[in-house]
């Protein structure tokens, strides 16, 4: 199902409300969370809404999609740091319920196995929030990632290094590898919300719309999911065919 809104603000308000409604209905929910610039206004809206709509988040558990290899939790570009800055410092989930892959794990392969197992042992993700890369990646599952994958190490594509290099003052500091939940971990979530905004996502959203389920376009795996909402602003939806827009707005 597509939900298309005029502005980023509208997209973020809608997405934040969906997350808060989930928590209200399921205080013990297991949430899969994402980072990136798309999610910043979503988390900001959640925090804003929580000022008027207090919620008990003490029983909530979260698993983030991914983390750079080689960055500590204190590194300002690590996803651990991002999540605390944009959400967890104010959204007081007990720290032991917050999970991100460990980019400094001594045994990375073991850490990957343990991450997928930890999700499964809690009965899987109740809701997974996703952004999308301009090359169609979800999490850091780059094109050609096997759709049966679990949490694993990836070498970041050239496109992703260019896209995400903007967050690093020195491009050479941008890590070459990351840990990401696998496509199968994502597909096993009971509900998925994919959010894309802005002109940088126009082309990939049109490609995704037309694509078959194909490992060349990781986000196309989501077409197999029975509870998927794709939330777009006008700009990200700009190259969807007219008939699609008419039917979805």
221: contact with ligand F6R by CB under 6 A? no
Answer yes or no whether residue 188 interacts with ligand F6R by CB under 6 A. no
**Smaller CB separation from ligand F6R, 39 or 111:** 39
| CA angle 111–99–183, rounded 5-degree value | 65
Considering Cα of 119, then 46, then 166, then 6, what sign does the dihedral take? positive
Active site residue 137: yes
| 52 in catalytic set | no
Residue 218 and residue 143 in contact, taking contact as beta carbons nearer than 8 Å: yes
Separation of CA 231 from chain center: 13
Active site residue 172: no
Q: Tokens representing 144?
A: 């050609």
Stretch binding ligand F6R (CB under 6 A), from 31-39, 84-92, 182-190, 209-217: 31-39
66 part of the active site = yes
**Catalytic pick among 64, 80, 102, 135:** 135
Site for ligand F6R in 120-179 (CB under 6 A): 131-133, 137-139
Return the residue nearest ligand F6R (CB atom).
131
Q: What does the chain come to in residues? A: 249
Give the per-residue contact string, 62-101, with ligand F6R (x = CB under 6 A; - = no): ---xx-----------------------------------
Instruction: Say if residues 75 and 169 touch (Cβ distance below 8 Å).
Output: no
Which residues contact residue 113 at a Cβ distance below 8 angstroms, ignoring those fewer than 6 apart? 150, 151
Instruction: Pick from 8, 18, 19, 35 the residue near ligand F6R by CB under 6 A.
Output: 35
- At 130, give phi and psi (nearest 5°): -135, 145
Catalytic residue among 137, 141, 152, 163: 137
Residue 216 tokens, joined: 């060349």
Q: Judged by CB under 6 A, does residue 37 bind ligand F6R?
A: yes
Site for ligand F6R, rule CB under 6 A: 34-38, 65-66, 131-133, 137-139
């Amino acid at each position: 199902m597509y939900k298309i809104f005029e502005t980023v603000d509208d997209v973020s308000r809608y997405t934040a409300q969906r997350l808060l409604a989930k928590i209200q209905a399921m205080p013990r929910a297991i949430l899969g969370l994402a980072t990136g610039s798309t999610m910043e206004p979503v988390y900001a809206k959640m925090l804003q809404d929580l000022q008027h709509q207090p919620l008990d988040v003490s029983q909530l558990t979260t698993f983030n999609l991914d983390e750079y290899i080689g960055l500590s939790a204190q590194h300002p570009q690590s996803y651990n740091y991002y999540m605390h800055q944009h959400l967890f410092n104010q959204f007081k989930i007990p720290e032991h319920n917050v999970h991100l892959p460990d980019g400094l794990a001594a045994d990375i392969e073991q850490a990957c196995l343990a991450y997928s197992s930890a999700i499964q042992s809690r009965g899987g993700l109740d809701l997974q929030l996703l952004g999308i890369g301009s090359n169609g990646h979800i999490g850091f599952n780059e094109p050609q990632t096997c759709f049966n994958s679990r949490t694993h190490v990836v070498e970041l594509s050239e496109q992703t290094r260019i896209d995400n290099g903007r967050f690093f003052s020195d491009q050479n500091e941008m890590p070459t590898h990351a840990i990401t939940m696998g496509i199968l971990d994502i597909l096993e979530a009971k509900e998925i919300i994919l959010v894309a905004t802005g002109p940088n996502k126009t082309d990939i959203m049109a490609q995704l719309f037309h694509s078959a389920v194909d490992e060349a376009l990781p986000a196309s795996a989501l077409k197999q999911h029975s509870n998927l909402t794709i939330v777009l602003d006008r700009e990200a939806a700009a190259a969807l065919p007219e008939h699609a827009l008419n039917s979805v707005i």
